[in-house]
Amino acid sequence: MTDQERLTALAQAIYLARYNQESDVTGVDLTDFQNQTIGWVNQYLPELEKARNPNGSMVDWNFLRTNDAVIGTVATANTISYALAPTIRKLVVSPYRDVTIRQDGTVVSTFKLVNPNQINDPTDHDIRDRSMVLKRNLIFSRSLNPTEVGGDVVADTIAFAPRLSQSNVAFLTLLDDYPDIYQLVVLGVIKNQVLPDIVQGGLTPSFSQKYDSHLADCIEENNASADASDVVRESFAWVGGVGF
C-alpha cells in the first residue's frame, strides 16, 4: 500500500465510523480530505501520548517504547549531562528499570531516575546513585569514575508519536502491529470532531463513551503482566497483645 493509499484508508475509516458511509471524493478534493485527516490526527496525538493509567500516572505505551536505548557515551568523568534525542519524549520511571552505564554490554553502575526535587534528598534512605531529566537533559547526581568513562548511558525511553504528513506516514506503519491503537486513533479523532458540533451534540456521548471504553481496554492490554506490580497486603495493626 502506498503512502497516499494509507492516508486515504485512515481518512475513510474515520469518515465511515462517523457517517456510516465512505466518502466519494477524488482528485483535489481527495487531497483536501487527506490533509484534513492529517490535521485532526496530529491534534489528537498529544492526547494519546498523555493518556493516563487508572492510578493517574501516564501510560508508557509499548508501541512507542524502546528498552535499553543508548542515550550517549561517557566522554569524561565530568560529563554528567546527556541530551535526549529529539525523538524521545521521556524516560521510563520504574523502580525495576534503572538508568545504567554499560561497558561492552555489561552493567558497571546504576542510577535511580528521580524527580529533580529528589536528586539530593537527605530524608530518602535509598542510597543508590541518582539521575534526573531537566530541560531534556539526563543528568547524574555525581561525577563519574574511570570505570564508567567510555561506557554507554542506557535507559528505557518513550518516543513521540510520529506526526503525519503527506510525505511521512511512519506513524501508520508503526501501527501495523497495533490494530487496536489504530482503532483508538479513529475513535479519538471522531470524538474530538463532534465535540464542538452542537447539532451533533446528541451523538457526542456515544462516541466519547466508545472511545473511553476502548482506551481503557488498550491501556489494560498495554500494562498486562504475568505478575502484579503491587501486592495488597492486609494490615494486622489492629491485633493487640494476648492477655493472661
DSSP assignment of 137-173? EEEESS---TTTTTPEEEEEEEEPPPPPBTTB-HHHH
The neighbour count for residue 171, using CB atoms within 10 Å, is: 22
Mean pLDDT for each consecutive 10-residue tract of the chain (244 residues)?
96 96 96 98 98 95 97 95 97 94 97 88 75 96 95 98 97 96 97 71 72 96 77 54 53
DSSP H or E segment with residue 108: strand 106-113
pTM of the model: 0.85
SS3 19: helix
- 127-148 in b/e burial notation, b at 16+ Cβ within 10 A? eeebbbbeeeebbbbeebeeeb
DSSP assignment of 49-77? HT-B-TTSPBP--GGGEEEEEEEEE--ST
**What is the per-residue pLDDT for 169?**
97
**What is the per-residue pLDDT for 157?**
98
- In angstroms, the Cα distances linking 40 to 26, 44, 178, 187, 194 are 20, 6, 20, 11, 12
